[in-house]
Chain A
């Protein structure tokens, strides 16, 4: 199978996401997220070269600054503050979850082959596969982890998936929408980080499985 160069980062992104599901070290996860964001940036830049589209360059630059540098840096800072190292996971263990996410990759490959190829491209399935598998993997990460930070990372993985879908299947969204989404993500991460601080301060932990007593008792 000979894939064009532009499609290879997309599949690598999906593989990195699977590695994230498999790792229980928060620091490693953040490094992996940073690497994933770097791959996303590369995919964007390659797409910009391919379509010779100037605004994709700007978005790639923004992605690099925000997702590759700023967000992981902020996460590292939070981890220092709340003093957690590992996320042991809940419901299913990390290896099982990893196997599940590989199954999701296979499923999304099947789904992606059903999708119509976007105009102007010869093959569209790598982008769609990566996008759908990132959605599933991000959700899996959110559902199977117990430390609140993992939920934020899972959310960001899902967001990456949506971004990649927009990039590869629709030949890029308008720049203002992309910038707006980036701003939303940044604000969301900031807020979630702050809330993680507060939870740590009030409950002495950020384990979401132990936050069940917050519900109203009937």
Chain B
């Protein structure tokens, strides 16, 4: 047993103990956050020590859950995700106390901290589980603890509704996963993940059930409905953890089962690829049209999960065709993007929390000008947005570069013409997604942080305290460092899939830069920028106001007006409508009152989920009539059930 895995195991145990401590006593915010942060640091150090080793360890046989003893396994893949978990947990833990201060009368701190510890513990448990039973137990702890955290502000009706939607999603996910596990157990006769291979064709049912469960939890289109409800209602550190890590845990499971378990069922792979592309596009399209900052981020998570799954499915696909090189690049892209997305999405959620803390609203139409009053948060948000838009010095660039490389390479080397066409199409779609992502975050930055404040409360906003600034800045620096150091991060990830780099002609993923020329060009650019822009004394002019008199705050570009052209282009999908109502005495030339109200309908919710829920409701009512309250009827039911069982036993046996 290596030291790293001992550290991980010990910190899991500590977290377990702390859950009970939090349940017993009213926890002090500072102490609880210190403990959580140290557990996060321990996860990071354990993950770093465990890198490149495979450690299996099991707790002694007499504490067995049901039939088998709890087994844990830390390999490089688990260590990589544990690294992400540890980093984000630490930042969220440091961030929490000050943030919780402004929610003090709305949440129950004992409840919050015990759920938080259980949540982190559950995620770590899923990552290090070595057999299906441990996996399911940890998965349930993670799901239920996160559901508790979503409903932290338990008095709010909206939070209750969000938690219900989220619970439905997690229940369905757990149901499908359990069914898949049971089928796999009946085929393989073993709960251990090591002996589970999906390469046989008769395992397609188990594979599809598992995949369905995992993508529901990952928030892939059409199952992404829970994300835009659960993320805005949860406190910001929780949404950072949920979006940054929990969603990645299902991606980890997908990689563990289907990449290392060699899934060969072609329809499933194509299906996963298609769903990934759709969710990337759908997610960003809805993100740009949201008015609430955290809903924007939630939909953007849907997009990024789509991007990661494009990489994962491409990896499985290429592996089946024997194109190991492409598989390696695609998996590297997916892993880098899951790590990177964990960093910058949690950074953005923390910044959104800071905005909420300072301005008491997350509605984009009420924010504005926060970069002046909250410079640190503003810079961190801009850094995170640049990373999520894949701008070069940050880490989004490296992972998207790998994804594009994988897709481009496969569009040249895939044997079937249709496969080449699909990958080329995916490149087109992903570039459209990238452009929309830039528009989305340009809107978020411009509306929330630039311009003038649109409401009194955002005018009064002050910079957040130091303990909230530090994690944001740290995560922003992490994004930068991970971006700059990605040439060194990528090769060990490439080595996760065994086999040589089989690209023809041999191409490395990263082009080598002519360093001195780039340096020279940068120096010249910086000097030019300094000389022409910064050296001038700023002088203030009035904006041309078309002769209407001085421009007010309302003449700023709003989020809706920024997004409106894009919404109009995609209006068939978004069901975007603009209701313009002009009134006044002479409404032709001098209208007194103009009301413009954009409306958007989520097709999936109104056309698919609402009718399904209604049908379910109706059926439940019909079934409910069976419960008439008469004892005689119940006796008859028991008798009929008995007779049925006897006859079924006779005829089916």
Cα distance, A28 to B64, chains bound together (Å): 57
CB-defined interface of B617-628 with A at 8 Å, one 1/0 digit per residue? 000010010011
Contacts of A139 in B (CB 8 A): 635, 639
The dominant DSSP class at the A interface is helix
Asked if A208 CB lies within 8 Å of chain B CBs, one says: yes
Cα distance, A218 to B620, chains bound together (Å): 10
Cα distance, A9 to B52, chains bound together (Å): 80
CB-defined interface of B100-129 with A at 8 Å, one 1/0 digit per residue? 000000000000000000000000000000
Cα distance, A171 to B636, chains bound together (Å): 31
Chain B minimum-CB-distance residue to A215: B629
Interface residue ranges of B588-632 to A (CB < 8 Å): 621, 624, 627-632
CB-defined interface of B364-396 with A at 8 Å, one 1/0 digit per residue? 000000000000000000000000000000000
Contacts of B631 in A (CB 8 A): 151, 208, 211
Q: When the two chains form the complex, which single residue of B621, B635, B636, B639 contacts A218, counting CB atoms closer than 8 Å?
A: B621
Cα distance, A90 to B629, chains bound together (Å): 15
**Interchain CB contact under 8 A, B629 and A212:** yes
**Interchain CB contact under 8 A, A214 and B632:** no
Interface residue ranges of A84-110 to B (CB < 8 Å): 90-91
Asked if A143 CB lies within 8 Å of chain B CBs, one says: yes
Contacts of A216 in B (CB 8 A): 627
Q: How far, in Å, is A188 (CB) from chain B's closest CB?
A: 15
Q: How far, in Å, is A95 (CB) from chain B's closest CB?
A: 19
Cα distance, A91 to B629, chains bound together (Å): 16
CB-defined interface of A123-149 with B at 8 Å, one 1/0 digit per residue? 000000000000000010011100000
**Interchain CB contact under 8 A, B624 and A212:** no
Asked if A80 CB lies within 8 Å of chain B CBs, one says: no
Interface size class of B (residues with CB under 8 A): 10 to 19
Q: When the two chains form the complex, which single residue of B627, B632, B635, B639 contacts A215, counting CB atoms closer than 8 Å?
A: B627
Cα distance, A218 to B629, chains bound together (Å): 12
Chain B minimum-CB-distance residue to A139: B639
Chain A minimum-CB-distance residue to B625: A218
**Interchain CB contact under 8 A, A90 and B632:** yes
Contacts of A215 in B (CB 8 A): 627-629
Q: How far, in Å, is A210 (CB) from chain B's closest CB?
A: 10
Asked if A170 CB lies within 8 Å of chain B CBs, one says: no
Contacts of A209 in B (CB 8 A): 630, 632
Q: How far, in Å, is B277 (CB) from chain A's closest CB?
A: 43
Cα distance, A91 to B632, chains bound together (Å): 10
Chain A minimum-CB-distance residue to B632: A143
Interface contact tally, CB-CB below 8 A? 30
Contacts of B627 in A (CB 8 A): 215-216
Contacts of B629 in A (CB 8 A): 211-215
The dominant DSSP class at the B interface is helix
Chain B minimum-CB-distance residue to A151: B631
Contacts of B635 in A (CB 8 A): 139, 142-143, 151
Contacts of A213 in B (CB 8 A): 629
Cα distance, A151 to B636, chains bound together (Å): 13
**Interchain CB contact under 8 A, A208 and B628:** no
**Interchain CB contact under 8 A, B628 and A212:** yes
Q: How far, in Å, is B632 (CB) from chain A's closest CB?
A: 5
**Interchain CB contact under 8 A, A143 and B630:** no
Contacts of B628 in A (CB 8 A): 212, 215
**Interchain CB contact under 8 A, B624 and A208:** no
Cα distance, A142 to B627, chains bound together (Å): 18
Q: How far, in Å, is B617 (CB) from chain A's closest CB?
A: 11
Cα distance, A209 to B631, chains bound together (Å): 7
Contacts of B621 in A (CB 8 A): 218
Cα distance, A142 to B632, chains bound together (Å): 7
**Interchain CB contact under 8 A, B636 and A143:** yes
Cα distance, A188 to B639, chains bound together (Å): 19
**Interchain CB contact under 8 A, A208 and B632:** yes
Cα distance, A45 to B632, chains bound together (Å): 36
**Interchain CB contact under 8 A, B630 and A218:** no
Chain B minimum-CB-distance residue to A136: B639
Interface residue ranges of B509-558 to A (CB < 8 Å): none
CB-defined interface of B623-653 with A at 8 Å, one 1/0 digit per residue? 0100111111001100100000000000000
Contacts of A151 in B (CB 8 A): 631, 635
- Which residue of B627, B629, B632, B635 has the most chain A CB atoms within 10 A of its CB atom? B632
Contacts of B630 in A (CB 8 A): 208-209, 212
Interface residue ranges of B113-159 to A (CB < 8 Å): none
Q: How far, in Å, is B626 (CB) from chain A's closest CB?
A: 11
Cα distance, A213 to B629, chains bound together (Å): 7
**Interchain CB contact under 8 A, A218 and B624:** yes
Q: How far, in Å, is B133 (CB) from chain A's closest CB?
A: 34
Cα distance, A159 to B214, chains bound together (Å): 50
Q: How far, in Å, is A202 (CB) from chain B's closest CB?
A: 16
Cα distance, A212 to B630, chains bound together (Å): 5
Cα distance, A25 to B23, chains bound together (Å): 59
CB-defined interface of A168-183 with B at 8 Å, one 1/0 digit per residue? 0000000000000000
Q: How far, in Å, is B639 (CB) from chain A's closest CB?
A: 6
Interface residue ranges of A34-68 to B (CB < 8 Å): none
Cα distance, A213 to B621, chains bound together (Å): 18
Q: How far, in Å, is A140 (CB) from chain B's closest CB?
A: 10
Contacts of A143 in B (CB 8 A): 632, 635-636
Chain A minimum-CB-distance residue to B624: A218
Contacts of A214 in B (CB 8 A): 629
Q: How far, in Å, is B56 (CB) from chain A's closest CB?
A: 46
Q: How far, in Å, is A92 (CB) from chain B's closest CB?
A: 11
Cα distance, A209 to B634, chains bound together (Å): 12
Cα distance, A215 to B639, chains bound together (Å): 20
Q: How far, in Å, is A143 (CB) from chain B's closest CB?
A: 5
Contacts of A144 in B (CB 8 A): 632
Cα distance, A117 to B81, chains bound together (Å): 68
Chain A minimum-CB-distance residue to B620: A218
Q: How far, in Å, is A112 (CB) from chain B's closest CB?
A: 16
Contacts of A90 in B (CB 8 A): 632
Q: How far, in Å, is A200 (CB) from chain B's closest CB?
A: 15
Q: How far, in Å, is B408 (CB) from chain A's closest CB?
A: 58
Contacts of A218 in B (CB 8 A): 621, 624
Interface residue ranges of A183-218 to B (CB < 8 Å): 208-209, 211-216, 218
Q: How far, in Å, is A206 (CB) from chain B's closest CB?
A: 11
Cα distance, A143 to B621, chains bound together (Å): 26
Cα distance, A91 to B633, chains bound together (Å): 11
Contacts of A91 in B (CB 8 A): 632
Contacts of B639 in A (CB 8 A): 139
Q: How far, in Å, is A186 (CB) from chain B's closest CB?
A: 22
Q: How far, in Å, is A51 (CB) from chain B's closest CB?
A: 29
Cα distance, A151 to B639, chains bound together (Å): 14
Cα distance, A56 to B628, chains bound together (Å): 44
Cα distance, A218 to B621, chains bound together (Å): 8
Chain A minimum-CB-distance residue to B631: A208
Chain B minimum-CB-distance residue to A90: B632
Q: How far, in Å, is B183 (CB) from chain A's closest CB?
A: 36
Q: How far, in Å, is B651 (CB) from chain A's closest CB?
A: 16
Interface residue ranges of B428-452 to A (CB < 8 Å): none
9 CB contacts below 8 A, A to B, read A139-B635, A142-B632, A143-B635, A209-B630, A211-B629, A212-B628, A214-B629, A216-B627, A218-B621
- A-contacting residues of B (Cβ < 8 Å)? 621, 624, 627-632, 635-636, 639
Q: A139-B635, A142-B635 known; 20 other A-B pairs, CB under 8 Å?
A: A90-B632, A139-B639, A142-B632, A151-B631, A151-B635, A208-B630, A208-B631, A209-B632, A211-B629, A211-B631, A212-B628, A212-B630, A213-B629, A214-B629, A215-B627, A215-B628, A215-B629, A216-B627, A218-B621, A218-B624
Interface pairs A-B: 6 shortest CB-CB: A215-B629, A212-B629, A208-B631, A218-B624, A143-B632, A142-B635
